[in-house]
A and B are shown apart, each in its own frame.
Chain A
Amino acid sequence: DVKVTQSSRYLVKRTGEKVFLECVQDMDHENMFWYRQDPGLGLRLIYFSYDVKMKEKGDIPEGYSVSREKKERFSLILESASTNQTSMYLCASKSSGGSEAFFGQGTRLTVV
């Protein structure tokens, strides 16, 4: 089974803190994604990586950065957390030759 693991299920951070969300996949997938999910807005793509050290902005990259130093690991960084970044964050991976994506369990981030 494909496994995508996010480092935390729940996080509470203070405004202005630097926040790291980590994601690891064990299927040697080339592509990895970070989404945020908010009620009424669905899934929104923050960043996408198609290879090690390669990244592409998604629909809402402002306030976020990413790092992919190893193929299996994709990190989302909130440089200075703000309350409007309180959300459910979902990591996904997908092989370049496949069509379906596989998700992690999600990280519920609250910024206070």
Chain B
Amino acid sequence: QKEVEQDPGPLSVPEGAIVSLNCTYSNSAFQYFMWYRQYSRKGPELLMYTYSSGNKEDGRFTAQVDKSSKYISLFIRDSQPSDSATYLCAMIGQGAQKLVFGQGTRLTINP
């Protein structure tokens, strides 16, 4: 069993929809949780960063962490075609140096 599970999709939704992307994990030592966005043929860029449980909002994006369920989510409101990308979750424990990544979910927003 992988430490981090993420549905690879692909996920296709119409423009304006609310998108929910999720990861589950098994290691209770993870404390820091990240979402990366990767456009086609580019490197991943850090999109959201959260410490421990709770919500964090940045514009149309909300990151949510539920440590009791070992479940993290990224919500995209009013989705745009420019949000079409692969989204990778990543997490790391306190003092650790190597991130553990999900497989990535390929998202397409249709105009």
Residues of A within 8 A of B (CB): 4, 6, 31, 33, 40-43, 45, 48, 50, 88, 90, 94, 96, 99-106, 108
B105 to chain A minimum Cβ distance, whole angstroms, is 11
Which residues from B are CB-within-8-Å of A96? Answer: 97
Which residues from A are CB-within-8-Å of B72? Answer: none
Are B49 and A99 interface neighbours, CB within 8 A? Answer: yes
Given contacts A41-B103, A100-B34, 5 further A-B contacts (CB under 8 A): A48-B98, A99-B92, A101-B46, A104-B43, A106-B41
Are B88 and A106 interface neighbours, CB within 8 A? Answer: no
Can you name 18 A-B residue pairings with CB atoms under 8 Å? A4-B43, A40-B8, A41-B103, A43-B88, A45-B98, A48-B97, A94-B99, A96-B97, A99-B99, A100-B46, A100-B49, A101-B46, A101-B99, A103-B43, A103-B44, A103-B45, A104-B43, A108-B41
Are A42 and B101 interface neighbours, CB within 8 A? Answer: yes
B35 to chain A minimum Cβ distance, whole angstroms, is 10
Are A42 and B104 interface neighbours, CB within 8 A? Answer: yes
- The number of inter-chain residue pairs (CB within 8 angstroms) is 51
Of all chain A residues, the one with the shortest Cβ separation from B33 is A99
Query: Residue among A50, A100, A104 with the most chain B CB within 10 A?
Result: A100
Which residues from B are CB-within-8-Å of A43? Answer: 88, 101, 104
Which residues from A are CB-within-8-Å of B44? Answer: 90, 103
Are A50 and B101 interface neighbours, CB within 8 A? Answer: no
- Does chain A have a CB within 8 A of B32? yes
CB proximity to A under 8 Å, residues B65-96: 88, 90, 92
Cα–Cα, bound, A96→B99 (Å): 12
Which residues from A are CB-within-8-Å of B103? Answer: 40-42
A28 to chain B minimum Cβ distance, whole angstroms, is 15
User: Chain B 11-36 against A: per-residue CB contact (8 Å), 1 yes, 0 no?
Assistant: 00000000000000000000110101
